């Protein structure tokens, strides 16, 4: 007999919880849903575009009745629940419909606050909460002329904008002198007010509504100063209040909302609550992103996994008024101990403010140019140290170097045909259509459906921007705590810590100890954990080839046609006629279709059949050539210039240094690929300042630069320090690589890692702590003892033969024989 789950409240938070639950445990419950409104679940945040005529009610329905049917859910729509009997575990609706429960989920949402002023109960005075309110506004707009919106917050302005678009003359009455004061500071609010005034809205600021006048239907609104504003329709948008009467009457503990713990459980352990009706750690909720995070956690507990915790959300806001770009997040008002970074360009209508504390972004207000909103929000969530780029931060991420999208900074104004994702050829319209028609809410969903930003990721900011401008105010980028993959709630850092602290020595042990949701993980978590184990237990952990991407399993790069490429190591980019002859010989012998010089001073043999790989490697080995690891999350190349041996400007022997560094570091597995370079003088012909680690010779020694990247997003290195001797260079390089190996997330390049943890942190560990640096270097060299084995030689001698040969070759006569 299945347990019974009853959901009270057929809105976004409750139904999202059911969706998450069905993903985890589709058969755990018999589910019954009560909804007071006569519709299936719809997207409440898109009511504003419906009002403005940009969408229809049908566009915003999220779950049709067929959805409930398909999942065997009993839906009682249009039936408000009036009583919960906790003793007998029964809920009763106003028409007498009853349902028994084993678990009850309350998602009763909130109600608009109606000010108790004289005339508030006149006909034509409404809130802005549901489809019925929108219908009332639309029918008023057809017959009447004057509308007053009380409240100049997010919802009030969206209502005002919609009514104006429907042809009404709209006045917004606001108590304070700043519009959207919970999201905007004064200068941004002034820009917004000016833009809205230009579009035709009228404002009464610092005005208190005293009474609503009229006999039967509203006729005017009177302010405290005695002025009267004609009104045929009054929309009260002064705030929302959690809908807790039902819970309260049932004796469930409530304060301002229904009080829940980090598992979304109320004081009655059989009763859970999510959404705008709850109060969690003293906080109430009015935006959609936190509701979705709650839904995920609540579903996890309803499914009996019992591992997720909701620890609050960080939210950002955007106004859904076409043509207006604004973004707000965090503690944007600042205060004692906060610094303010400001950018103002009145002529272009652009205003940006960041609040910063201890070199960390705490809040943001952007008006007119919001493309960097998601970037600032990410810096905020991660608590990233911005000291290395704070002088440029207000100019945006593009200004730090971006090859693709530097000039596109206003997603709302992009034409439909604009190509947003250059890798996968996805234009803006495709993304918008997918968001609207497939009801997408998150970046991950847009990636899954359209592939936009799913490859190199350089257009991620732009895609998030389009998501925001399509969905509007309540979209939030992503959860504060990002799980490693869909198989777990744990983050990269938590998994690494558990491996160390609990002494976990194999992938199954990690899965078991951390309650993995899948039996053997997925293509994202297995390679990550394999690396983390390898890094934590060097020499002891036995690598799991089945958890490696094919390139690292067969030590060559898979190509689009299923053939492979072979890149022998050429130490420091210095080779000999004999080596070149050996490479030429194998290229001819195995009829290699393409021979190409790589960007890292190596030679790439492309189009090799997999079965030929071990024999090619054997031939190359005989000439002294070994694997170049051009296929791995590992040390790729050390690029060098000729240095003082030949160059008239050279100050040090950069080629020898490059060769020495490559001999020291080859074979090391790293979170992502690592490229290094050594230049013999500050002219920097080896382009060391866009490498993961760059060494630049100066007359008095060597400069060490870190965290550069020449790929998707160009990032110049940060200067780490200057040293005098060759030995010191090697010490720093080994320590730096080990710090990166031990602390970066899998697949995180050094550039992103340093942006996340901050250059100051890396300097503290490497420059300011000599003992710590020596220890890191020692750990690196220790792990290299078991890592520096040529994988080509092993396989040329027959190891892993099954990887390279078919298990069976069927010829025509095999069939005949069987037949």
Partner 1 sequence: MHAVREEETLKQWIPIARIDEIPRQGARVVTTATGNIAVFRSIDDRVFALLDRCPHKGGPLSQGIVHGRRVTCPLHNWVIELESGQAVAPDEGCARRFEVRVEEGMIAIALPAHEA
Contacts to partner 1 by CB under 8 A: 438, 448-449, 518-523, 526-527, 545-551, 554, 558, 560, 562, 802, 806-812, 814-816, 818-819
| Distance set, CA 489 to CA 10, 313, 517 (Å) | 26, 15, 9
Residue 10 phi/psi, 5° resolution? Answer: -95, 50
Residue 423: name the closest of 452, 460, 466, 461 by CA.
452
Cβ closer to partner 1: 347 or 807?
Answer: 807
Distance between CA 124 and CA 121 in Å, rounded? Answer: 9
Distance between CA 705 and CA 720 in Å, rounded? Answer: 5
Question: Contact 677/684 with Cβ under 8 angstroms?
Answer: no
Residue 600's CB: how many other CB atoms inside 10 A?
A: 19
Distance between CA 180 and CA 319 in Å, rounded? Answer: 10
Find where tokens 């960080």 sit. Answer: 314
Cβ closer to partner 1: 87 or 809?
Answer: 809
Distance between CA 34 and CA 11 in Å, rounded? Answer: 10
Question: Contact 713/401 with Cβ under 8 angstroms?
Answer: yes
Read off the DSSP letter of residue 560: T
Distance between CA 40 and CA 32 in Å, rounded? Answer: 13
- Minimum Å distance from CB 630 to partner 1? 16
Distance between CA 59 and CA 64 in Å, rounded? Answer: 11
Cβ closer to partner 1: 549 or 761?
Answer: 549
Contacts of 401 (CB under 8 A, 6+ apart): 713, 714, 715, 716
Residue 179: name the closest of 206, 154, 152 by CA.
152
Read off the DSSP letter of residue 2: P
Q: Supply the angle between the helices 460-471 and 373-382 in degrees, to the nearest 10.
A: 110
Pairing of strands 125-126, 233-236: parallel
Q: Please, what sign has the CA dihedral across residues 429, 430, 434, 437?
A: positive
Q: Both tokens of residue 515? A: 């309650």
- Minimum Å distance from CB 625 to partner 1? 25
Question: Contact 188/365 with Cβ under 8 angstroms?
Answer: yes
- Minimum Å distance from CB 464 to partner 1? 19
Cβ closer to partner 1: 562 or 577?
Answer: 562
Q: Both tokens of residue 236? A: 């009260």
Cβ closer to partner 1: 87 or 808?
Answer: 808
- Minimum Å distance from CB 495 to partner 1? 17
Q: Please, what sign has the CA dihedral across residues 404, 491, 782, 727?
A: positive
Residue 358's CB: how many other CB atoms inside 10 A?
A: 11
* Type and span of the H or E element at 58: helix 57-60
- Minimum Å distance from CB 520 to partner 1? 4
Residue 764's CB: how many other CB atoms inside 10 A?
A: 12
- Minimum Å distance from CB 787 to partner 1? 22
Q: Both tokens of residue 272? A: 């859970």
Could you tell me how many residues make up the chain?
Answer: 819
Render the burial of 58-69: b for 16+ CB within 10 Å, e for the rest. eebbbbeeebbe
3-state secondary structure string across 416-474: CCCEEECCCCEEHHHHHHHHHHCCCCCHHHHHHHHCCCCCCCCCHHHHHHHHHHHHCCC
Question: Contact 552/530 with Cβ under 8 angstroms?
Answer: no
Find where tokens 């080839």 sit. Answer: 545
| Distance set, CA 184 to CA 40, 354, 472, 710 (Å) | 34, 12, 16, 37
DSSP letter string over 88-126? TTEEEETTS-EEE-SEEEE---EEE-----TTTTSBTEE
Opening angle at CA 315, ends 312 and 320, nearest 5: 145
For residue 612, is it left (φ>0), alpha (ψ between -120 and 50) or beta? alpha
DSSP letter string over 4-70? EEEEE--SHHHHHHHHHHHHH-TTSEEEEEEESSSSSEE-GGGHHHHHTTSS-HHHHEEE-HHHHHH
Cβ closer to partner 1: 798 or 806?
Answer: 806
């Amino acid at each position: 007999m299945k347990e019974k789950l009853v959901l009270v409240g057929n809105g976004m938070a409750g139904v999202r919880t059911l969706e998450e639950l069905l993903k985890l445990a589709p058969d755990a419950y018999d589910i019954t849903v009560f909804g007071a409104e006569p519709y299936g679940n719809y997207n409440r945040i898109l009511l504003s575009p419906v009002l403005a005529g940009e969408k229809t009610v049908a566009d915003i329905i999220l779950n049709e009745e067929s959805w409930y049917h398909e999942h065997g859910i009993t839906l009682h729509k249009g039936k408000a629940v009036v009583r919960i009997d906790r003793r007998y575990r029964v809920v009763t609706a106003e028409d007498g419909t009853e349902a028994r429960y084993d678990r009850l989920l309350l998602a009763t949402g909130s109600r608009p606050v109606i000010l108790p002023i004289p005339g508030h109960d006149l006909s034509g005075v409404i809130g802005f909460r549901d489809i019925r309110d929108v219908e009332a506004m639309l029918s008023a707009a057809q017959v009447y002329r004057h509308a007053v919106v009380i409240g100049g917050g997010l919802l009030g302005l969206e209502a005002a904008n919609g009514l104006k678009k429907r042809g009404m003359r709209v006045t917004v009455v606001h108590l304070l002198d700043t519009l959207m004061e919970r999201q905007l500071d004064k200068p941004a609010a002034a820009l917004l007010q000016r833009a809205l005034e230009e579009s035709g809205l009228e404002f009464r600021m610092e005005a208190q509504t005293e009474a609503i006048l009229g006999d039967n239907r509203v006729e005017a609104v009177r302010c405290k100063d005695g002025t009267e504003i004609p009104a045929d329709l009054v929309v009260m948008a002064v705030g929302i209040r959690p809908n807790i009467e039902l819970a309260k009457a049932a004796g469930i503990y409530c304060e301002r909302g229904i009080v829940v713990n980090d598992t979304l459980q109320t004081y009655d352990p059989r009763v859970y609550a999510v959404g705008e009706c709850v109060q969690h750690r003293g906080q109430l909720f009015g935006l959609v992103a936190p509701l979705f995070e709650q839904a995920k956690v609540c579903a996890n507990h309803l499914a009996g996994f019992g591992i997720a915790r909701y620890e609050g959300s960080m939210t950002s806001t955007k106004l859904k008024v076409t043509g207006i770009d604004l973004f707000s997040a965090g503690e944007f008002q600042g205060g004692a101990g906060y610094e303010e970074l400001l950018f103002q360009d009145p002529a272009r209508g652009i205003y940006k403010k960041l609040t910063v504390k201890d070199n960390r972004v705490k809040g943001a207000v952007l008006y007119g140019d919001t493309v960097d909103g998601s970037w600032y929000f990410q810096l905020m969530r991660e608590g990233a140290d911005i000291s290395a780029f704070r002088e440029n931060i207000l100019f945006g991420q593009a200004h730090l170097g971006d090859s693709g999208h530097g000039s596109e900074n206003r997603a709302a104004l992009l034409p439909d045909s604009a190509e947003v994702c250059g890798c996968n050829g996805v234009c803006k319209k495709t993304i918008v259509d997918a968001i609207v028609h497939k009801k997408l809410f998150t970046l991950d969903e847009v990636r899954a459906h359209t592939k936009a930003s799913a490859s190199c990721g350089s257009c991620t900011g732009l895609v998030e921007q389009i998501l925001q401008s399509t969905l509007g105010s309540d979209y939030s980028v992503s959860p504060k705590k990002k799980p490693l993959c869909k198989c777990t709630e744990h983050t990269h850092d938590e998994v690494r810590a558990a491996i160390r602290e609990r002494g976990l020595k194999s992938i199954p042990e990690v899965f078991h100890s951390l309650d993995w949701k899948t039996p053997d993980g997925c293509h994202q978590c297995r390679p990550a954990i394999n690396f983390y184990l390898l890094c934590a237990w060097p020499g002891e952990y036995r690598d799991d080839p089945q958890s490696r991407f094919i390139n690292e399993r067969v030590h060559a790069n898979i190509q689009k046609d299923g053939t492979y490429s072979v890149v022998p190591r050429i130490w420091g980019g210095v080779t000999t006629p004999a080596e070149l002859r050996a490479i030429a010989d194998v290229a001819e012998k195995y009829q290699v279709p393409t021979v190409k010089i790589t960007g890292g001073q190596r030679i790439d043999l492309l189009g090799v059949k997999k079965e030929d790989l071990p024999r090619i490697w054997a031939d190359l080995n005989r000439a002294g050539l070994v694997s170049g690891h051009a296929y791995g999350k590992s040390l790729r190349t050390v690029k060098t210039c000729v240095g003082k041996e030949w160059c008239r400007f050279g100050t040090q022997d950069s080629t020898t240094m490059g060769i020495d560094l490559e001999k020291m570091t080859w074979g090391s597995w790293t979170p992502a690929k690592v490229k290094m370079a050594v230049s013999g003088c500050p002219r920097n012909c080896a382009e060391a300042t866009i490498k993961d680690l760059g060494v630049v010779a100066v007359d008095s020694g060597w400069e060490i630069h870190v965290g550069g990247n020449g790929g998707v997003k160009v990032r110049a290195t940060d200067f780490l320090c200057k040293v005098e001797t060759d030995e010191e260079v090697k010490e720093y390089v080994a320590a730096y690589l080990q710090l990166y190996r031990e602390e970066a997330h899998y697949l995180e390049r050094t550039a992103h890692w340093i942006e996340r943890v901050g250059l100051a942190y890396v300097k503290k560990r490497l420059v300011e702590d000599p003992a710590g640096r020596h220890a890191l270097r020692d750990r690196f060299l220790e792990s290299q003892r078991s890592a520096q084995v040529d994988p080509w030689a092993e396989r040329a001698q027959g190891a892993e033969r099954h990887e390279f040969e078919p298990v069976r070759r069927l010829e025509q006569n095999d069939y005949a024989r069987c037949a």
